[in-house]
């Protein structure tokens, strides 16, 4: 434990910012999970697999377009759609037949999907580590408060709110978004007024997975893309969504902030046990407010 090191203000500031930018990725992933949870009432354990596919797809697309700036931006733009396509196939072929079943069966199904997708990634990409290099525009770092803050993290800090606003506009201002929200609250009513609930669910599921893929594509340049990414992110995502309030997008944001920031502070104060900090924070929140900090849709 490095208490001896003086924790400077600038170090604290930069760590906070890094935590916030990490929280943005978590938020993007969790907003998708929250959306699916809210509309379909399904805990999608395969959400992490789609995140992982997003990262791997970004890698391949990046290579396809020759790397560099073009590769990066094309990969970022297209990989969420790849993931969306995969999820659409899964949903129409299998998932949609299970909506009548109990939650535990749906959980079991998404677990089976996680297993399958995990191995599919292994088949397509193999078990090696992959990586993507950041394009020149976003390379390097700023000096912030006397310490260095990576430019890419600033990019993430901007992407987070963009997605948040975009999602909010989508669910509150577009017709289909409003229908999805209505279906979350009362699916029978939506059905009764003649809307095909099945397609609403398909749409919601695909959107949620799109966001997971986007999160994966965004995180890809900052980490080594490996198998096992799916397992790691899913537990974090579920805990975040729970402390935020199930199905609540703003709750997902708050939860992500808590998780990201506590983890960064952990790295600063007690690096060896950095990952314990966010779990501890989750435990404290759940003991204090078991149903989440904001109202859940359930």
Task: Tell me the closest approach of the beta carbon of residue 118 to another protein, in angstroms.
Answer: 6
Q: Which single residue is written with the structure tokens 């096992």?
A: 228
Min dist CB 264 to another protein, Å, is 16
Could you give the C-alpha distances from 16 to 22, 38, 53, 261, in angstroms and in order? 10, 30, 29, 6
Q: Which is nearer to another protein, 26 or 167 (CB)?
A: 26
Q: Please identify, using beta-carbon distances, which residue of 92 and 231 lies nearer to another protein.
A: 231
State in angstroms the smallest separation of the CB of 150 from another protein: 25
Q: Summarize as ranges the residues that interact with another protein (CB under 8 A).
A: 45, 94, 97-98, 101, 104-105, 108-109, 111-116, 118-120, 122-123, 231, 235, 238-239, 242, 272-276, 279-280, 282-283, 286-287, 290-291, 298
Q: Which is nearer to another protein, 151 or 231 (CB)?
A: 231
- The nearer residue to another protein, 110 or 147, going by C-beta atoms, is 110
Cβ 26 to another protein shortest distance, Å: 15
143 phi/psi in degrees, rounded to 5:
-95, 120
Q: C-beta of 235: minimal distance to another protein in Å?
A: 5
The residue among 80 and 251 lying less far from another protein, judged by its C-beta, is 251
């Amino acid at each position: 434990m490095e208490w001896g090191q003086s924790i400077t203000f600038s170090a604290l500031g930069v760590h906070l910012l890094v935590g916030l930018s990490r929280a943005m990725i978590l938020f993007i992933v969790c907003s998708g999970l929250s959306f699916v949870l809210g509309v379909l009432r399904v805990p999608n354990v395969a959400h992490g697999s789609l995140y992982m596919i997003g990262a791997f797809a970004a890698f391949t697309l990046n290579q396809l377009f020759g790397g560099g700036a073009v590769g990066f931006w094309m990969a970022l733009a297209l990989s969420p759609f790849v993931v969306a396509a995969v999820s659409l196939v899964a949903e129409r072929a299998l998932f949609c037949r299970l909506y009548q079943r109990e939650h535990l069966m749906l959980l079991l199904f998404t677990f089976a999907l996680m297993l399958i997708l995990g191995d599919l990634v292994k088949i397509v990409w193999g078990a090696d580590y992959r990586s993507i290099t950041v394009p020149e525009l976003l390379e390097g770092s700023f000096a912030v408060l006397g310490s260095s803050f990576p430019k890419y993290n600033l990019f993430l800090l901007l992407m987070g709110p963009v997605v948040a606003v975009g999602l909010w506009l989508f669910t509150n201002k577009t017709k289909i978004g409003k229908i999805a929200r209505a279906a979350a609250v009362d699916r029978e009513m939506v059905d009764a007024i003649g809307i095909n609930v099945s397609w609403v669910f398909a749409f919601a599921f695909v959107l949620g997975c799109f966001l997971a893929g986007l999160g994966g594509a965004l995180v890809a340049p900052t980490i080594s893309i490996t198998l096992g990414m799916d397992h790691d992110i899913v537990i974090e995502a579920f805990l975040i969504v729970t402390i935020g309030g199930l199905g609540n997008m703003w709750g997902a944001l708050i939860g992500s902030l808590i998780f990201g920031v506590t983890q960064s502070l952990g790295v600063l104060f007690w690096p060896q046990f950095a990952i314990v900090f966010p779990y501890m924070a989750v435990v404290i929140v759940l003991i204090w407010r078991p149903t989440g900090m904001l109202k859940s849709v359930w």
